[in-house]
Chains A and B, each alone.
Chain A
């Protein structure tokens, strides 16, 4: 009788033990429960300039505020990507194609000591789709400062063109073109 009881007890505990083994623990929490601290601690100045030269759909105030917020968050993650190459951090702000592309050269996050900060953006929305899902813009004279692990290395004014798509909860970067970069500090001979 005693052996039977021991056997049953063993069966009982091994059941829980094996159950624990088979249950997969999925580490990543769903998006709505995560706190994006990078984006929360980042608040860049985003100015949207209105140009109504043709029959253009234009975002209303609500859409503009949302866009401004997402654009700032996007740059928080692009700056992080620039610094550490941690591709997964900002995936809420990347389209699938953009994410696949930045993963082509990705092996693991790296520490370079180089950082970039964005200070101001002046957006000229070139096209805004009627359904509010596509935005083509020019970011004119965006100001960036670059640091290495010791000091400020340069400040530059950058003109860039970008395509953003509204997918899921956010505006996501889909494509970019850096039109030019003008270095305003240090005042060197380099053009």
Chain B
């Protein structure tokens, strides 16, 4: 029984002697830590520490080694850091110790240029003004200041050339494509010729151009309305490379009046005469 009480006493004594672990001492402290895979050293007792690098975005578990009272943190495998205020945190049971500093990536990290354009489809009929939002980020998602400027973002409105084409805001990024489409036709030249072999009129329409001089888009629907005073007829065709062709039967050498329409634009009334 006495042995039991002695054991209890020793146990109580040991528990009362247990202290909080001493805070590790950072041997080579810095205000700004450049993440270039150097090791960092802390003087501490060898305990079962959990070590974290905590940025404002995420905590990262760091492996460490211990020898001769010095705990070394290895930052070898760490990359992809969002720069900013950060901490090293040591946790042992419910005790934790923090060491604050400013974390930076080493220089020479690849930058990505972002150029967002909108609207992406432009038409000379209405507007060729386009919004351009520019910023620059590195591959680790850190926003960087624009070169030769004192700001992070830039927005401009630019006037595009009216030439029909597919353009890219960033040359090697197909997602940044935008388009200048052809506008609608401003006038409709029509030529006709009687073909005695086929017994009808060969009609050639074109070239159809918008107000800038671009050829009107392929596939635009054209409607031909013609009549001989007694009956009226309707014919439709589409444009290919600025031109359209049609054929009107006239077996009895009928005379017609013809008008061609594209959307809101109409040609002059033409008399077809063999």
A132 to chain B, nearest CB (A): 8
- Quick one: which of B109-124 are within 8 Å of A by CB? 114, 116, 118-120
Which residue of A has the minimal Cβ distance to B143? Answer: A177
Given A104-B79, A112-B89: A134 touches B116 (CB 8 Å cut-off): yes
Cα(A150)–Cα(B152), bound, Å = 38
- The one of B54, B57, B61, B91 that contacts A107, using a Cβ cutoff of 8 Å: B61
Do B118 and A130 touch (CB < 8 A)? yes
Do A176 and B85 touch (CB < 8 A)? no
Given A54-B155, A114-B89: A163 touches B135 (CB 8 Å cut-off): yes
Interface size on A, residues (CB 8 A): 46
Do B56 and A136 touch (CB < 8 A)? no
Digit string of A74-97 for contact with B (CB within 8 Å is 1, else 0)? 000010011111010000000001
Do A178 and B141 touch (CB < 8 A)? no
Which residues of B does A touch, CB under 8 Å? 52, 54, 56-61, 77-85, 89, 91, 94, 96, 98, 100, 114, 116, 118-120, 131, 133, 135, 137, 139-144, 152-153, 155, 157
Q: Cβ of A131: which chain B residues have Cβ within 8 Å of it?
A: 118-120
Digit string of A28-71 for contact with B (CB within 8 Å is 1, else 0)? 00000000000000000000000000111100000000000000
For residue A101, CB closer than 8 A to chain B, the reply is: yes
A-B contacts, 16 of them at CB < 8 A, read A78-B57, A81-B58, A85-B60, A101-B80, A114-B54, A114-B59, A114-B96, A126-B153, A136-B155, A163-B114, A163-B135, A163-B143, A174-B141, A175-B135, A177-B144, A177-B152
Do B82 and A176 touch (CB < 8 A)? yes
